[in-house]
Amino acid sequence: MSLLDYFRSSKTSSASLAKERLQILVAYERSSSSQPSYLPQLQKELLLVIQRYVDVSQDAMTINLEQNDNQETLELNIVLSERRRN
Amino acid sequence: MARIIVVTSGKGGVGKTTTSAAISMGLAKKGHKTVVIDFDVGLRNLDLIMGCERRVVYDIINVINGEATLNQALIKDKNCNLLSILPASQTRNKDALTQEGVGKILEELGKEFKYIVCDSPAGIEQGAHLAMYFADDAFIVTNPEVSSVRDSDRILGLLASKSRRAEQNEEPIKEYLLLSRYSPERVKSGEMLSLDDVQEILSLHLLGVIPESKSVLLASNSGIPVILDDKSDAGQAYADIVARYLGENKPHRFIDDKTGFFRKLFGGK
């Protein structure tokens, strides 16, 4: 590392970018690996059924399975678009 | 009771075999009867790193298939008579490695050895699965690099769900971090993930940091585990790791940049 680098290095560090990317990715992968494998397929099929009646986009739906001590909750979140609601 | 250690990482090329060779030699040098097993069927390399490649006659698949006894397949290390090596098969298909077969071998080895070190292949296929399945302790070898940290996290998930201890609801596998190919200088200049960065994601018990070192290549060139090169930084790092694993209190080294201000100023190496 030369004198010039010494003053330059603090601006943007690629290591902090790496850490940020990793944190997001690992958090996502941890949550998806703990869910049952049928969940993506279930989401796809539910979306198809809903789309027959309402116009919803692919990313307007989130599905989540939560496990507590004595119960499981399947949470389905669908955001309907403003203009299509009447 | 023997203690089974798996050396694993998910990603290839991070130093699993180097680590397996070093720590098994370290444990044996400390007076513990140790065996190191190569689980990389089809791509064996532990024999080369241990310098016993020309003495391989039988391998783990021969033992599983009943074509040789364990004692016929085990190779006594030439540097330390408390250490034995069980090589992987080079030619046969990897499905020959069965859970039942591996279980039997480990049980038999457990009667004679104090530590059984399982050198896992990269990936998450059968060989990697069986290397970790029976483990009591897991040494997670990670490089300060995005793909390695991600794969290590994935392996931690598998250890917690697909191992014998997990399946039988026993106490979970003890997981330790070995951060290898670490360069404090590059960490300081913001080019490399720091130990703290890696720990923020993996949060494991740190067994040691192994610095990026020329001595690792030199050791593999000559087929002598790097831990025997006690003048080298990597050799010392592994010796510390073995000591810490055995419960000795060794302060961590090789984490901070020791390069002086003037060297930096003039760009010297």
Residue B269 confidence (pLDDT)? 43
pLDDT at A11: 52
Number of alpha carbons in the 13 Å side-chain half-sphere of residue B192: 21
Q: Does B192 have pLDDT greater than 70?
A: yes
- Nearest CB to B150 within list A16, A25, A33: A25
The residue in chain A having the minimum alpha-carbon distance to the alpha carbon of residue B193 is: A15
Contact residues, chain A, for B197 at CB < 8 Å: 15, 18-19
pLDDT recorded at residue B266: 63
Instruction: Give the residue with greater pLDDT, A3 vs B179.
Output: B179
Query: In the prediction, which pLDDT does B48 show?
Result: 96
For chain B, the first-to-last Cα distance in angstroms comes to 48
Cβ-based contacts of B189 with chain A (< 8 Å): 1, 5, 9, 13
pLDDT digits (tens, 9 = 90+) for B97-153: 999 999 999 999 999 999 999 999 999 999 999 999 999 999 999 999 999 999 999
Backbone angles phi, psi at B33, to 5 degrees: -70, 120
pLDDT tens figures, B41-98: 999 999 999 999 999 999 999 999 999 999 999 999 999 999 999 999 987 676 789 9
User: Residue A36's pLDDT is what?
Assistant: 77
This prediction has a pTM of 0.84
Continuous segment of H or E residues that includes residue B31: none
Interface predicted TM-score of the whole assembly (ipTM), two decimals: 0.81
| List of residues 6+ apart from A41 with CB closer than 8 A | none
In the prediction, which pLDDT does A42 show? 87
Q: Which residues contact B226 (CB under 8 A, 6 or more apart)?
A: B18, B21, B22, B213, B215, B216, B219, B220, B232, B234, B235, B238
The rounded percent of chain B whose pLDDT value lies above 70 is 95
* Closest in B149, B185, B265 to A3, CB measured: B265
Mean of the per-residue pLDDT values for chain B?
A: 94
Predicted confidence (pLDDT) per residue in A66-83, tens digit = 777 788 888 888 888 776
Q: Name the residue among B185, B194, B267 with its Cβ closest to that of A15.
A: B194
List residues of chain B with CB under 8 Å from any CB of chain A.
145-146, 149-150, 153-154, 157, 185, 187, 189-194, 197, 200-201, 264-267
Give the closest residue to B191 by CA, choosing from B217, B174, B215, B212. Answer: B212
* Distance, C-alpha B23 to centroid of its chain: 7
Contact at CB, A6 and B194, closer than 8 angstroms: no
Q: Which residue of A has its CA nearest to B197?
A: A19
- Cβ of B190 within 8 Å of Cβ of A14? The answer is yes
Q: Which residues of A touch B (CB under 8 A)?
A: 1-3, 5-6, 9-10, 12-16, 18-19, 21-23, 25-26, 29-30, 33
pLDDT tens-digit map of B200-220: 999 999 999 999 999 999 999
Token digits of residue B176: 């330790």
Predicted confidence (pLDDT) at residue B164 exceeds the cutoff of 50: yes
Burial class (CB within 10 angstroms; exposed 0-12, middle 13-18, buried 19+) of B121 = buried
Residue A6, pLDDT above cutoff 70: no
Cβ-Cβ contacts under 8 Å, A26 against chain B: 149-150, 153, 201
Per-residue model confidence as pLDDT tens digits over A11-66 = 568 999 999 999 999 988 887 777 777 888 888 898 899 889 988 887 888 887 77
Write down the mean pLDDT value for chain A. 79
Quote the CA–CA distance of B109 and B118 in Å, as a whole number.
12
Q: What is the pLDDT of residue A8?
A: 54
Mean pLDDT in residue range B233-248: 98
> Would you tell me how many other CB atoms lie within 10 Å of the CB of residue A78?
13
As a whole number, mean pLDDT of residues B251-261 equals 83
Residues of chain B contacting residue A35, judged by C-beta atoms under 8 Å apart: none
Q: For the segment B223-232, what is each residue's pLDDT rounded down to a tens digit?
A: 999 999 999 9
Whose tokens are 């050791």? That residue is B219
